Amino acid sequence: MNRRGLGLTRRAVIGTAVGLAAMAAIPSVVQGADDEIILGLVSPLSEPGDARSGEAIKKTADLWVKMTNEAGGIDGKKVRLAVYDDQGKVEVGAAAVERAVTEGHASAILGIWSSSVALAQMEVAKRYNVPILAFYTWADEFTGKNYPQVFRIGPYNSQIAAQMAPFVEARGYKKVVVLAEDTAYGLGFAKSFEEAAKDKDFDLEIVQFQAQTQDLTAVMSRVKAMEPDVVIVQTVFTATNLSIKQGREVGLKADIVTGWDWPLLPDFWDTVGEAGVGVIYPTFSDASMTVTSTGQQFIDAYNQEYGVEPAIFQYYLWDNFNAVKAAIEKAGTADPAQLVETLPNVQFEGTIGEIAFRNDEGTVNFHQWDKFAMFFKQLNNVGDGDAEATLVHVVK
Amino acid sequence: MDQLLIQSLVLGVLQGGLYALLAVGLSLVFGVLRLVNFAHGEFAMLGSFGAVFAVSALGLPVWFGLLAAALAGAAVAAATNLVVLRPIYRSRMRQKGEYTIITTFMLSQFLIAAATLLFGTTYRRLPGFWNENLNLFDFVFLSGNRIVAFAASIILIGLLFWIVYRTDIGRAWRALTENPLGAAVAGIDINRYANYAFLAAGAFAGVAAALLAPLMFVYPASGTVALVKAFIVVIIGGMGSIGGALAAGLLLGMVEVLGTVYVDSGYTDAYGFALMIAVLLLRPQGLFGRAERAV
C-alpha cells in the first residue's frame, strides 16, 4: 500500500502522536472535588531559586498534609497540595500563584520565600482575593502595603534590624559592614539597619553584591580593605557560605554575623570548614524558647520522618498552615474570599506560642504575628550545631 | 603599591585563567562545526559532579577527581553530539544554527533538572590540592587552590594548543574550520573529528569546573554562570580562536575584579557584558578573531 495513500506522511504521524502525548501530559483543569481542600504551595524548588530552602519547605508542607489527613482532614475533608515552582524568579513566581489559583483552585497560597518574588506574588493574590501567607519573607513592604489578602507569621527586616543594631553596639563593634545581596530582602535589610543604626555608636558601610554570584572573592577583598570589626551578611544563595569561606581566604579578620540561621543548614560545615568557626548567627530558636505541644508534635514528627531537626523558619511555616486550617474551621468553608475575611481574627496554638495577628493599619504590623525573641549564637568548633553553639546575646 | 590593587590584579589574572579554560571548548566546537552550544555549562557542571562523586563518595584521591571530571564532561559532550547535534548539522535543513541554539538550550534545562533530581539542591564542595589560605608578603591573600587552578588551566590550554598545531587531529580541526567542504573532499571524516572536538570540549569544561569546585560550590545550576562567562570570553576573544579565548579570559577576569573592587561591587557581571558590547561595536569578529574563523 502506498504510504501516501492515506494522505499521511511519517512526519505527520509522529507529530500527531507527540502532540497527543503532550496533551495527555498537560494537567487537566478539573475543579477540586467537593470532599477535598486544595492549598497552593508556591516555593523555589529549583535553581536559580533558593532550592535548598525550597526542599525544606516542601518537606514541611508534605508532612503537614500527611498528618492533617491522618487526623481526618479539615472539617472532614482531605487536604491536597497544588505545588508550583517559582524558581526564585519574579515573573515565574507571579505566574505560579496565578496558576495555583486558576488551575489548581487553591484556597490559599503558602510556602512563598524570596522577598522580591513575594512582592509580585502578593499582587496576584490581591487580584484574585486569595489569602497569601509568608513565614520567612522579610521585606517590610509585604505586610506594609496592608493588603487584606496578605499575612505573615514570621520576622521582617525593620524588626530584625532594630534587634540587631543594639546587639552590634553591645558587642563594642565600631566599624560595621553590611554585605547585602541586591534583592528586596538584602537591600531592604540594609536600609532598615541603616535607619536603626542612626543613633548607635558605630560607623556603618553597606556593600551590595549580585545575589546569584558564584565568586565573592573580589567583593570580600573590597570588604577586607575597609578593615571592619564585623561583617553582617544578608544573603540567601551560594553567597551564604561563600562569603565566609572566601572572606577568610582573602584574610578578612573581622567577626562575621550571618543574616539568618543558615549555618544550621546541612551543607554549612562541609562547604565552609574551619572558616565557619567563630561565626555568629541570629536565630529565633533556643532551648529556652517555649515550645508548645503543637510545636513539640511538629518537631518529633519531622525528626521521625526526615531524621533531622526542623529549622525555626519551618516552625513558622507550620503555623502558616495551621492558621489556614483555623480559618477554614472558623469560616466553615475553604472559599478564599471567606478566608481573607476570617484569617485576621483567628487565634490558635502555634509552635512557640499563641498565634493571633496584629492588625495595625498603616503599619508593617498589619496581619502580622511577631511574638518572638532573637538569639545570637556563636559556633566554636567545626561541626557545631544549634545545641553546641554558645548563646552570646538575647533580644526579647 | 596599594595592597588592594595588587590583590585585585592577581585575583583577576587567576580568575581569568579559569574563564579561559571554561571557554576554549566552546570556542573549539564553534570553530570546527560552527555550532553554538548552550549546554556547554552543563558539561562543566556534570564534570564537577563526577569529581565530587569520585572523591567524596568513592574516597579516591583528588587528582582522580580531575580525571573523573574530564571523563564525565567528555561523555556528556559526546552523547550530546551523537544524539542531539549530529542529526542537525548533518541534515539538509536550512536553519541549522537556530535549531542548534534551541536544542542545546532545552538540553541544558533538561540536564539541570535531571541533576537536581539526582543530586539534590545541597551545595557540595570538593577538596583541592592546596587547601591553605596563603598570605604572600602581606600583599596577596588567597586560597592555594586558586594558584593550582590557574596553573592547571595554563597547562591544559597549552596542551590544547599543542593538539591543534602539532597533531593530525588538530590539523583536521583547522582544515574543517577553514573550509568544511574542502576538508571533506580531502577525505577528512567530519563525524570523527567532530566527535573529537566535543570530547575535548567536554573534558576541558569538566576539568575547569572541577578546578573551580574547591573555590566555590558544586550544585545543579552552577553551569549557568560558567556558560555566560564562556560565551563572553569567546565573543571577546573571537569565535573559534583558542589564543583569543586565553587572552579574553584574562582580560575578563581583570575587568570584573577591578570593576567590583574599585567601581561598584553590585555590578560584577555588568563589567564583562560592557566589555563584550564594546568589543562587538569596535571589532565584531573579536580581538583575535578573523572574518574567516580559525582555530
Instruction: For residue A378, give the 3-state DSSP assignment.
Output: strand
**Is A6 contained in some domain?**
no
Residue A10: pLDDT band (50, 70, 90) is low
pLDDT at B295: 55
Q: Say yes or no to pLDDT of A14 above 70.
A: no
When comparing pLDDT for A27 and A126, which is higher? A126
Domain that holds residue B70: 3-123+142-282
Q: Say yes or no to pLDDT of A33 above 70.
A: no
Counting as low any pLDDT under 50, the low residues of chain B are none
The C-alpha of B32 sits at a distance from chain A's nearest C-alpha, in angstroms, of 30
Mean pLDDT, residues A350-368 taken together = 95
Residue A19: pLDDT band (50, 70, 90) is low
**Is B135 contained in some domain?**
no
Distance CA A250, CA A258 (A): 18
Task: Tell which residue, A209, A210, A213, A215, has the closest CA to residue A231.
Answer: A209
Distance CA A156, CA A150 (A): 14
Neighbour-count burial for A370-396, b at 16+ CB within 10 Å, e otherwise: eebbbbbbbbeeeebebeebeeebebe
**Is B255 contained in some domain?**
yes
Q: Which of B5, B93, B217 to mutate to test the interface with A (most CBs of A within 10 A)?
A: B217
The reply to whether A277 and A379 lie within a common domain is yes
Q: Say yes or no to pLDDT of A148 above 90.
A: yes
Report yes or no: A363 at the B interface, CB cutoff 8 Å. Answer: no
Q: Say yes or no to pLDDT of A6 above 50.
A: no
**Is A141 contained in some domain?**
yes
The reply to whether A251 and A124 lie within a common domain is no
pLDDT at A157: 92
The reply to whether A389 and A340 lie within a common domain is no
Q: Which of B2, B141, B255 to mutate to test the interface with A (most CBs of A within 10 A)?
A: B141
Report yes or no: A219 at the B interface, CB cutoff 8 Å. Answer: yes
The residue type of A236 is V
The reply to whether A271 and A389 lie within a common domain is yes
**Is B128 contained in some domain?**
no
pLDDT at A29: 41
Beta-strand relationship, A175-181 and A374-378: unpaired
**Is B13 contained in some domain?**
yes
**Is A200 contained in some domain?**
yes
The reply to whether A203 and A339 lie within a common domain is no
Q: Would you say B51 and B69 are in contact if contact means Cβ atoms under 8 Å apart?
A: yes
**Is B137 contained in some domain?**
no
**Is A11 contained in some domain?**
no
pLDDT at A3: 45
Domains contained in chain A, number: 2
The reply to whether A115 and A199 lie within a common domain is no
Q: Say yes or no to pLDDT of A313 above 70.
A: yes
pLDDT at A24: 45
The reply to whether A145 and A165 lie within a common domain is no
**Is B133 contained in some domain?**
no
Q: Do B261 and A213 touch (CB under 8 A)?
A: no
Residues of chain A positioned with their CB less than 8 A from the CB of B219: 47, 238
CATH, residue B82: 1.10.3470
The H or E element spanning position B134 is strand B133-136
Q: Do A271 and B217 touch (CB under 8 A)?
A: yes
Q: Do B121 and A250 touch (CB under 8 A)?
A: no
Domains contained in chain B, number: 1
Report yes or no: A277 at the B interface, CB cutoff 8 Å. Answer: no
The C-alpha of A53 sits at a distance from chain B's nearest C-alpha, in angstroms, of 9
The reply to whether A81 and A171 lie within a common domain is no
Q: Say yes or no to pLDDT of A349 above 70.
A: yes
CATH, residue A304: 3.40.50.2300
**Is A14 contained in some domain?**
no
Provide, rounded to the nearest whole percent, the portion of chain A with pLDDT above 70: 92
The reply to whether A96 and A163 lie within a common domain is no
CA distances from residue B85 to B75, B78, B79 in whole angstroms, order as listed: 14, 10, 9
pLDDT at A70: 97
pLDDT at A15: 54
The reply to whether A308 and A327 lie within a common domain is yes
Residue A154: pLDDT band (50, 70, 90) is very high
**Is A288 contained in some domain?**
no
pLDDT tens sequence across A86-120: 999 999 999 999 999 999 999 999 999 999 999 99
**Is B291 contained in some domain?**
no
pLDDT at A88: 93
Provide, rounded to the nearest whole percent, the portion of chain A with pLDDT above 90: 78
The C-alpha of B138 sits at a distance from chain A's nearest C-alpha, in angstroms, of 9
Distance CA A51, CA A29 (A): 27
Domain that holds residue A66: 36-155+295-356
Residue A17: pLDDT band (50, 70, 90) is low
Mean pLDDT, residues A81-88 taken together = 96
Distance CA A167, CA A169 (A): 5
Residues of chain A positioned with their CB less than 8 A from the CB of B269: 210
**Mean pLDDT for all residues in chain A:** 91
The reply to whether A162 and A269 lie within a common domain is yes
The residue type of A213 is T
Report yes or no: B113 at the A interface, CB cutoff 8 Å. Answer: yes
pLDDT tens sequence across A232-267: 999 987 888 999 999 999 999 999 999 888 888 888
Q: Which of B143, B254, B260, B261 to mutate to test the interface with A (most CBs of A within 10 A)?
A: B260
The reply to whether A189 and A300 lie within a common domain is no
